[in-house]
Amino acid sequence: MSTSPTARIYRPTPRNLAFLANVLARGGIVAAPTETVYGLAADARNAKACRDVFRAKGRPANDPLIVHVNSLDQAGEVAALNDAARSLAKAFWPGPLTLVLPKQPGVPAIVTSGLESVAVRMPAHTLFRELIERSGCPLAAPSANPFGYISPTTAAHVRDGLGQRIKYILDGGSAQIGVESTILDLRNPSKPAILRPGSISREAMEMVLERKVAAYTRKAPAHTAAPAPGMLERHYSPRTPLTLVDKLAPAFLHKLANNEAVLFVHQPRLSQQTPNVFWLANHGEELMAAAHNLFNQLRMLDSGGWTQIHAELAPGSSALALAINDRLSRAAAKRGPA
């Protein structure tokens, strides 16, 4: 059963941007595009506005938010920057890299779930940056999806998930990257560690820092505080059961029931058309295309009436392969005991 959404989608006209920035400055919440996924934004200094973000998402309070900024100065108002953070900011900001650093006193506890650290990033999307600029607020923004579901990469995805719970969605088309930012723990700059894989690679950060960066592990490292949602086993999950296959061989298709779908990373070369075969990237396309399509394709499959989705893992160990496979593995994780 579908009810009519109360959220309105705003085109990115100067007038609408001014209006939505004003909503944010007055403590409202607005879904807006970033280059990774859409975020649900609120003034990061306003505890009540941030509480509304948690409520709209159904997100548990022990799951801290990322604060988005528009300048290095503003980052310094949110987090205590160290030299490593400055070097990485210079190399990768604006862009899909989130740094976890000691927090400044002005950040309300609700944003960081009571942690002494805060996650901060400068997004590359000009519309999101304009909202920060025009509102004058650092913007706390988790992905704009109901907690645990697939992250949104279009305004329509946001409306599908949160349309009954929020009023304002800024339309910036389809998010370019399609998977969330790389998160790097830099609380101790001599021991940087990846908390969530994204499109910025460990190797690229090691080059800038001139030191080893601990690779991402599914288990939270001992020095990390409360387990973060990025660390939740089950996340990004379609309702349809999803299983993973290392590499899908075309022969696999013969064993499929009619109501089961398969998701290849690259378009397979098949002798005949099969209606239950899907892929993330066309022949010859890079993994960038696969990352860009990942969440949209999972949503399409989830509403396609399939009883089971079999998805292939991305090949290799590039940053995007690790990010795609991390999201797929969480999407496939079994629901824990209720």
Q: Which residues bind Mg ion (CB under 5 A)?
A: 143
- Least CB distance to Mg ion at residue 107 (A): 19
3-state SS, one letter per residue, for 205-226: HHHHHCCCCECCCCCCCCCCCC
Instruction: Compute the least distance from the CB of residue 111 to ligand TXA, in Å.
Output: 8
- Positions in the binding site for ligand TXA (CB under 6 A): 34, 36-37, 39, 63-66, 96, 98, 100, 112, 115, 117-119, 123, 141-143, 180-181, 183, 195-196, 228-230
Q: Taking CB within 5 to 8 Å according to partner kind, which of ligand TXA, Mg ion, none is near residue 297?
A: none
DSSP 8-state secondary structure symbol assigned to residue 31: E
Q: Looking at the DSSP assignment, which residues form a beta bridge with residue 196? A: 183
The CB-of-102 to Mg ion minimum distance in angstroms stands at 23
| Nearer residue to Mg ion within complex by CB, 58 or 173 | 58
Angle at the Cα of 316 from the Cα atoms of 270 and 210, rounded to 5 degrees: 155
Shortest Cβ distance from residue 335 to ligand TXA (Å)? 19
The one of ligand TXA, Mg ion, none whose footprint includes residue 34, by CB under 5 to 8 A per kind, is ligand TXA
Q: Where are the beta strands (DSSP E) in the chain?
A: 8-10, 30-33, 38-43, 66-68, 97-102, 117-121, 139-140, 168-170, 182-185, 193-196, 242-245, 260-266, 277-281, 308-312
Beta carbon of residue 108, minimum distance to ligand TXA (angstroms, whole number): 13
| Omega prior to 94 cis, within 30 of 0 | yes
Sheet containing 182-185: give its strands across: 8-10, 168-170, 30-33, 38-43, 139-140, 66-68, 117-121, 97-102, 182-185, 193-196
Least distance between ligand TXA and beta carbon 338 (Å): 22
Nearer to ligand TXA, 145 or 276 (CB): 145
197 binds, among Mg ion, ligand TXA, none (CB under 5 to 8 A by kind): none
Query: Of 102, 4, 113, which Cα lies nearest the Cα of 59?
Result: 113
- In terms of CB distance, is 193 or 311 closer to ligand TXA? 193
Closer to ligand TXA at the Cβ: 37 or 213?
A: 37
The entry of ligand TXA, Mg ion, none near residue 162 (CB within 5 to 8 angstroms by kind) is: none
